[in-house]
């Protein structure tokens, strides 16, 4: 390939091997647009050149901000769109108060929940907490391990919902609305023991989303434990609930406790080794079928009648 064309694609960040493969398949006279389309179709991703380090790309900064670091990190599209796991949105107040037995705002409970989802591989984990929790704790609202909030904020995990004081009175924005809205837009999962009934009545789409994507939990000896069946006994497993592409349930081969004495027929959910096809009719249905065959329209015999 001509050196100028190779340099052109290399400056865009594509590897020489990928460019050579595309030029060999399309021909040396292929247009740049066709080559780029083929590179994108192959899944080739542009990377920074190894010969020289390029400066970090500039970010748009809102007016009045000193630097790009002032932009809330949760506004950036850093979600796990390419991952098979759903985004996680945690109700920080609910988790912290639950870990503190509804007496203390325990920040350690938030850390336990975040670590549990990180260990599973979730790359998008956000925690929403009212901003007044940054203030020094008071007697009527004690806080434990408050330094964890600052650590999670530096890691772009924790998000403070707005609040301010007007004439000495605190005005707090509804943090539950932030939680449900972000989880709904991200098509993720809400981690909370709250049912958000007021928001369900407010928006029918949110009602369905809360019913289907609310993950409840428990703390057992400082261990964050969500249920294995988040939507009930007959619902999906926890792994399928947290996955974008759930796997089909595996067949259960648990033997029937009644064995050959079972009278459920094909309605039995357990395994019967004596039934090769598992397609038998219930005993009552088999008897009815035999009676219909014996006393059909072409048969002159009549079924026996019970008399005195």
- Whether 76 is covered by a domain: the verdict is no
Question: Are 222 and 169 found together in one domain?
Answer: yes
Q: Which of 79-88, 229-238, 261-270 has the highest mean pLDDT?
A: 229-238
Same-domain check for residues 33 and 124: no
Is 58 inside any structural domain?
no
Instruction: Read off φ and ψ for residue 126, nearest 5 degrees.
Output: -125, 140
CATH number at residue 187: 3.40.50.11980
- The band of 54, judged by pLDDT with boundaries at 50, 70 and 90, is very low
Please indicate, yes or no, whether residues 197 and 234 belong to a single structural domain of this protein.
yes
Both 125 and 224 in one domain: the answer is yes
How many domains are contained in the chain?
A: 3
Average pLDDT rounded to a whole number, residues 33-50 = 64
Q: What is the predicted pLDDT for the residue at 69?
A: 39
User: What's the mean pLDDT in 126-151?
Assistant: 89
- Does one domain contain both 282 and 224? no
Query: What whole-number distance in Å separates Cα of residue 121 and Cα of residue 84?
Result: 10
Q: Is the pLDDT of residue 133 over 70?
A: yes
pLDDT tens-digit readout, 55-89: 445 555 444 444 433 444 444 444 444 478 999 99
Do 103 and 238 lie in one domain? The reply is yes
> What is the rounded (10 degree) CA torsion for 290, 293, 299, 305?
30
**What range defines the domain where residue 9 resides?**
5-42
- Quote the CA–CA distance of 127 and 111 in Å, as a whole number: 10
Contact by Cβ (8 Å): 180, 206: yes
Whether this prediction's pTM lies above 0.85 is answered by no
* Domain edge (last residue) among 185, 213, 242: 242
In a domain, 295, yes or no: no
Residue 140 sits in the same domain as residue 277: no
Task: Answer whether residue 95 is part of any domain.
Answer: yes
pLDDT at 2: 46
24 and 106 assigned to the same domain: no
Residue 228 lies in a domain: yes
Instruction: Give me 247's structure tokens.
Output: 């796997």
Looking at residue 114, what is its pLDDT? 96
Domain identity same for 108 and 233: yes
Domain boundary among 185, 214, 242: 242
Burial of 132 (0-12, 13-18, 19+ CB in 10 A): middle
Residue 187 token pair: 């098509």
Residue 187 lies in a domain: yes
Find the helix or strand (DSSP H, E) in which 26 lies. Answer: helix 16-26
Is the domain of 114 the same as that of 233?
Answer: yes
Which has more pLDDT, 299 or 10? 10
Let me know whether 235 and 256 are in one domain.
no
Q: Tell me the β-bridge partners of 158.
A: 127
Is residue 15 pLDDT above 60, yes or no? yes
Quick check: is 216 in a domain? yes
Percent of the chain with pLDDT over 70: 69
pLDDT at 295: 57
* pLDDT > 70? residue 99: yes
Q: Is residue 21 part of a domain?
A: yes
Cα–Cα nearest to 127, from 224, 203, 235? 224
The Cα 123–Cα 111 span in angstroms is 15
Is 212 found in the same domain as 135?
A: yes
**Residue 71: what pLDDT?**
40
Tell how strand 218-219 and strand 224-225 pair up: antiparallel
> What is the per-residue pLDDT for 77?
45
* Averaged pLDDT for residues 237-264: 79
Distance between CA atoms of residues 272 and 99, nearest Å: 46
């Amino acid at each position: 390939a001509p050196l100028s064309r190779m340099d052109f694609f290399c400056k865009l960040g594509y590897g020489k091997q990928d460019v050579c493969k595309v030029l060999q398949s399309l021909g040396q006279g292929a247009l740049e647009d066709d080559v780029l389309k083929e590179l994108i179709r192959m899944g080739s991703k542009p990377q920074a050149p190894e010969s020289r380090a390029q400066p970090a790309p500039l970010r748009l900064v809102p007016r009045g901000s000193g630097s790009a670091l002032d932009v809330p990190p949760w506004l950036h599209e850093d979600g796990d769109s390419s991952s098979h796991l759903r985004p996680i949105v945690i109700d920080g107040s609910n988790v912290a108060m639950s870990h503190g037995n509804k007496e203390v705002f325990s920040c350690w409970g938030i850390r336990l929940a975040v670590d549990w989802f990180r260990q599973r591989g979730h790359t998008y984990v956000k925690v929403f907490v009212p901003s007044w929790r940054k203030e020094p704790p008071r007697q009527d609202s004690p806080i434990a391990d408050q330094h964890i909030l600052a650590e999670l904020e530096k890691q772009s995990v924790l998000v403070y919902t707005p609040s301010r004081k007007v004439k000495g009175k605190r005005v707090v924005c509804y943090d539950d609305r932030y939680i449900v809205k972000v989880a709904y837009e991200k098509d993720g999962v809400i981690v909370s023991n709250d049912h958000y009934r007021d928001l369900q009545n407010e928006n029918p789409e949110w009602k369905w989303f809360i019913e289907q994507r609310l993950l409840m939990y428990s703390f057992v000896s400082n261990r964050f434990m969500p249920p294995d069946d988040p939507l009930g006994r007959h619902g999906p497993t926890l792994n399928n609930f947290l996955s974008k592409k759930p796997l089909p349930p595996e067949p259960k081969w648990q033997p029937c406790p009644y064995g050959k004495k079972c009278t459920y027929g094909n309605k039995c959910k357990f395994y019967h080794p004596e039934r090769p096809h598992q397609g038998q009719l219930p005993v009552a249905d088999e008897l009815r079928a035999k009676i219909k065959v014996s006393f059909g329209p072409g048969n002159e015999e009549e079924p026996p009648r019970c008399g005195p």
